[in-house]
């Protein structure tokens, strides 16, 4: 039995524009609501509701969370479905209007075919209206319907309707939205929602339901793909007595038995010897089909890999330009490592550059160093390993990603790939015969980095100096990378904000890696206050090469020592970002060594020597 075609519809706009009421009425008047649910909406009332008892509160049909009913706002995205006259299924997503929950709306927009952007005629165009229009445009929503609601409160004045359209048109034109329509409605009284209203005789278009039913997906865009790729994400490795296969759902294109395919990002090739589905073996698998693909030869593929036809495949890259909707409560910090997730694949990634922030009111590109919650910008991203991301404009599934905070595992950003950067394919790693192991053997030592972290004044530099003297006397080739010394040269352009500290740690880690590759013992004395930055530094080294040492000294002792006068400046208000005073310090949770910064320096050095020698 062939599956019914699905249309995904998103409703968005600012708080109290009437989204929930509009969708509730649409569901009720198309007989898409169970009778017992409808009965409840006649009894339950929101605080401060003006709807008389016994009448339907349409908004309750989509606001399912208790917190939403108590506050009278939509927090989560509520999903409902209904059938259209031509047997297509309509999945309706009622997105929250409050700016705090823009992340929920952005996720729903990434899958929507149609977006209803509501405007309250009594309040006019608001910033959240423009933000939602911008996100819908970036997310590739194919059809946008601007629904001008509450016109009953304005006596269905055509002048009000036309003035709102005129106010929106500069934004619509700037965003390049081509498929756009405007519909005057009263969600509360039902005008132009399901049926045409006699009270809006000046409007020649159809009702909202008419406009939805008249929409047709553009031909040859199945799976929202404009490219010729065939792709399947590997979700599971299936093993049985007589075969081993890779399982997943074909997200675009098709595969057939005998096709030559390529596994990404490894770029190993094989042929499809068998396609197994729930109903048995098949010769061809089209978009949306869940299959197990048996490859010949049985090359290595793991969960998170992608399979494409070898004749036309996505070249993996590790540098991308992307539009970013920042969703995290903390600001985006460039040079900090996040997890980049696309489908079932996950790889560490760093935002290397913020090209600009988009002003949603006028479209201007603003030069910034960070993005705040719900802000939109153009960024450049570097991944730790090549990933086969496509342009978002060509495929919404393979061109989108989210950024996940590595500590909290919260989703903090939604990205749409503009293109892979040319530098991703123009750079080649060269391996030389004289390598790290040979260089360390020549020096009769084991190369590694001793990364000492702690508050300013904890004693890191003092311990590092004493340690290097001991190593030098023992014939060990070593070098100290001191935070202050590096800020006099390599890092002189960096300040002490979170993003600058992240970049400071990244640069020191990369220099340390080069020195370890040279066969040296590297001693790093760096505050490096944030755990996620230190963890990312650890990841670029081979196992056992990175020794994290926490010089644990009470803050009051550090302030009393105050060898550089920093705590005095902080007390006077002249140093707002001093770690431990104006900026937090995150202690290590898995340090190889913890040194007491109040004890004798020689005792701490002896402990370090046991770790190194």
599: domain CATH number is 3.40.50.300
The pLDDT of residue 552: 94
Mean pLDDT for the stretch of residues 103-121: 88
Residue 526: which of 545, 556, 506, 554 has the closest Cα?
A: 506
- pLDDT tens per residue, range 543-568: 999 999 999 999 899 989 888 888 88
User: Do 111 and 52 share a structural domain?
Assistant: yes
| 241 inside domain | yes
Residue 331 has pLDDT above 50, yes or no: yes
Mean pLDDT for the stretch of residues 281-290: 89
> Which of 367, 401, 423 is a domain's end point?
423
Query: Do 25 and 118 meet the contact criterion of CB atoms below 8 Å apart?
Result: no
Residue 319 has pLDDT above 90, yes or no: yes
239 exposure class (CB count in 10 Å sphere: 0-12, 13-18, 19+): exposed
Give the rounded percent of residues in the chain with a pLDDT score beyond 90. 51
User: Do 303 and 243 share a structural domain?
Assistant: yes
| 430 inside domain | no
| 1 inside domain | no
| 219 inside domain | no
* Pairing label, strands 284-286, 254-256: antiparallel
Write the DSSP symbol of residue 30.
Answer: T
Mean pLDDT for the stretch of residues 123-151: 92
CATH number of the domain where residue 292 is located: 2.40.30.10
The Cα 613–Cα 591 span in angstroms is 18
User: Do 594 and 489 share a structural domain?
Assistant: yes
388 exposure class (CB count in 10 Å sphere: 0-12, 13-18, 19+): buried
- Is 266 in the active site? no
Q: 333 falls in which pLDDT band (50, 70, 90)? A: confident
Residue 275: which of 305, 311, 314, 230 has the closest Cα?
A: 230
3-state percent breakdown (helix, strand, coil) of the chain, nearest 5: 30, 30, 45
More confident residue, 577 or 602: 602
Residue 140 has a CB neighbour count (10 Å cut-off) of 20
- 207, 225, 337, 528: which one is catalytic? 528
| 495 inside domain | yes
Q: 432 falls in which pLDDT band (50, 70, 90)? A: confident
The Cα 131–Cα 43 span in angstroms is 35
The pLDDT of residue 362: 84
| 297 inside domain | yes
User: Do 98 and 30 share a structural domain?
Assistant: yes
Residue 133 has pLDDT above 80, yes or no: yes
| 468 inside domain | yes
The pLDDT of residue 162: 96
Residue 583 has pLDDT above 90, yes or no: no
Q: Which two tokens stand for residue 317?
A: 């890259």
The answer for residues whose C-beta is within 8 angstroms of residue 13's C-beta and 6 or more apart is: 19, 97, 116, 117, 118, 119, 120, 128, 129, 132, 147
User: Do 234 and 354 share a structural domain?
Assistant: no
The Cα 520–Cα 475 span in angstroms is 12
User: Which range has the worst mean pLDDT, 2-11, 293-302, 498-507?
Assistant: 2-11
452 exposure class (CB count in 10 Å sphere: 0-12, 13-18, 19+): buried
User: Do 188 and 230 share a structural domain?
Assistant: no
3-state secondary structure of 211: helix
- pLDDT tens per residue, range 35-94: 666 666 655 655 556 666 656 666 666 655 444 444 444 445 677 888 887 788 899 888
The pLDDT of residue 563: 83
> Which of 170, 191, 214 is a domain's end point?
214
> Which of 423, 453, 488 is a domain's end point?
423
The answer for residues whose C-beta is within 8 angstroms of residue 303's C-beta and 6 or more apart is: 234, 235, 236, 237, 344
Rg (CA), the chain: 30
The Cα 396–Cα 417 span in angstroms is 9
The pLDDT of residue 279: 84
| Torsion (CA) 150, 156, 161, 164 in degrees, nearest 10 | -40
User: Do 508 and 467 share a structural domain?
Assistant: yes
User: Do 389 and 526 share a structural domain?
Assistant: no
Query: Do 17 and 133 meet the contact criterion of CB atoms below 8 Å apart?
Result: no
Residues in the chain: 613
Residue range of the domain that includes 371: 317-423
The Cα 540–Cα 534 span in angstroms is 11
The pLDDT of residue 323: 95
Q: Give, in degrees to the nearest 5, the angle at Cα 322 between 320 and 327.
A: 125
- pLDDT tens per residue, range 514-523: 999 999 999 9
- Beta bridge mates, 452: 525, 549
User: Do 148 and 62 share a structural domain?
Assistant: yes
User: Do 596 and 463 share a structural domain?
Assistant: yes
User: Do 305 and 396 share a structural domain?
Assistant: no
Exposure string over 340-379, b if 16+ CB within 10 A, otherwise e = bbbbebbbbbbbeebbebbebeeeeeeeeebbebbbbbbb
The pLDDT of residue 258: 92
Mean pLDDT for the stretch of residues 238-251: 83
Query: Do 335 and 506 meet the contact criterion of CB atoms below 8 Å apart?
Result: yes
Element (H, E) at 418: strand 411-420
* Average model confidence (pLDDT) across the chain: 86
What is the domain count for the chain? 4
The pLDDT of residue 150: 94
| 428 inside domain | no
- The alpha-helical segments, DSSP class H, found in 3-73 are 19-29, 35-41, 66-71
User: Do 456 and 357 share a structural domain?
Assistant: no
Written in H, E and C, the secondary structure of 511-542 is HHHHHHHCCCEEEEECCCCCHHHHHHHHHCCC
């Amino acid at each position: 039995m062939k599956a019914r075609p699905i249309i995904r519809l998103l409703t968005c706009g600012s708080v109290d524009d009437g989204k929930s009421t509009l969708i509730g009425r649409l569901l009720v008047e198309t007989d898409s609501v169970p009778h017992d649910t409808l009965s409840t909406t006649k009894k339950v009332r929101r605080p401060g509701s003006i709807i008389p008892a016994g009448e339907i509160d349409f908004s309750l049909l989509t606001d399912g969370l208790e917190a939403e009913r108590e506050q009278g706002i939509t927090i989560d995205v509520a999903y409902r479905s209904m059938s259209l006259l031509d047997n297509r299924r309509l999945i309706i997503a009622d997105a929250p209007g409050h700016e705090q929950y823009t992340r929920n709306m952005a996720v729903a927009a990434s899958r929507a075919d149609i977006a209803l952007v509501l405007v309250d005629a009594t309040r006019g165009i608001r910033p959240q209206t423009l933000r939602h229009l911008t996100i819908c445009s970036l997310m590739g929503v194919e059809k946008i319907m601007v629904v001008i609601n509450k016109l009953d409160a304005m006596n269905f004045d055509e002048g009000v309707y036309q003035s709102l359209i005129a106010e929106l048109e500069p934004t619509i034109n700037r965003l390049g939205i081509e498929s756009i329509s405007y519909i005057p409605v009263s969600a509360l009284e039902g005008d132009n929602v399901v049926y045409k209203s006699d009270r809006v005789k000046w409007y020649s278009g159809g009702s909202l339901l008419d406009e939805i039913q008249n929409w047709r997906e553009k031909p040859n865009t199945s799976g929202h793909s404009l490219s010729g790729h065939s792709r399947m994400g590997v979700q599971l490795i299936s093993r049985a007595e007589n075969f081993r296969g890779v399982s997943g759902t074909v997200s675009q294109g098709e595969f057939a038995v005998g096709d030559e395919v390529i596994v990404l990002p490894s770029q190993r090739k094989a042929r499809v010897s068998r396609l197994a589905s729930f109903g048995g073996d098949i010769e061809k698998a089209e978009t949306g089909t869940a299959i197990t693909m048996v490859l010949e030869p049985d090359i290595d593929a793991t969960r998170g890999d992608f399979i494409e036809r070898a004749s036309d495949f996505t070249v993996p890259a590790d540098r991308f330009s992307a539009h970013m909707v920042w969703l995290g409560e903390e600001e985006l910090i460039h040079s900090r490592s996040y997890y980049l997730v696309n489908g079932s694949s996950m790889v560490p990634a760093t935002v290397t550059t913020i090209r600009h922030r988009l002003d949603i009111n006028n479209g201007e590109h603003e030069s910034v160093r960070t993005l705040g919650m719900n802000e939109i910008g153009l960024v450049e991203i570097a991944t730790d390993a090549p990933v086969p991301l496509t342009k978002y404009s060509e495929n919404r599934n393979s061109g989108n990603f989210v950024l996940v905070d590595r500590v909290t595992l919260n989703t903090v950003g939604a990205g749409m790939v503009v293109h892979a950067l040319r530098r991703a394919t123009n750079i080649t790693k060269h391996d030389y015969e004289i390598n790290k192991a040979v260089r360390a053997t020549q020096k009769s030592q084991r190369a590694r980095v001793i990364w000492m972290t702690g508050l300013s004044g904890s004693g890191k530099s003092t311990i590092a100096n004493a340690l290097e003297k001991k190593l030098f006397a023992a014939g060990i080739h070593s070098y100290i990378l001191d935070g202050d010394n590096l800020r006099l040269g390599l890092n002189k352009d960096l300040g002490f904000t979170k993003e600058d500290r992240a970049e400071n740690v990244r640069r020191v880690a990369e220099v340390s890696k080069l020195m370890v590759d040279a066969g040296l013992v590297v001693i790093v004395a760096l505050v490096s206050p944030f755990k996620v930055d230190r963890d990312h530094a650890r990841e670029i080294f081979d196992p056992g090469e990175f020794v994290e040492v926490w010089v644990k000294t009470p803050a009051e002792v550090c302030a009393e020592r105050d060898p550089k006068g920093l705590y005095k400046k902080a007390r006077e208000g002249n140093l707002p970002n001093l770690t431990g005073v104006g900026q937090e310090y995150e202690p290590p949770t898995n340090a190889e060594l913890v040194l007491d910064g109040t004890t004798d320096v020689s005792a701490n050095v002896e402990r370090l020597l046991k770790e190194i020698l």
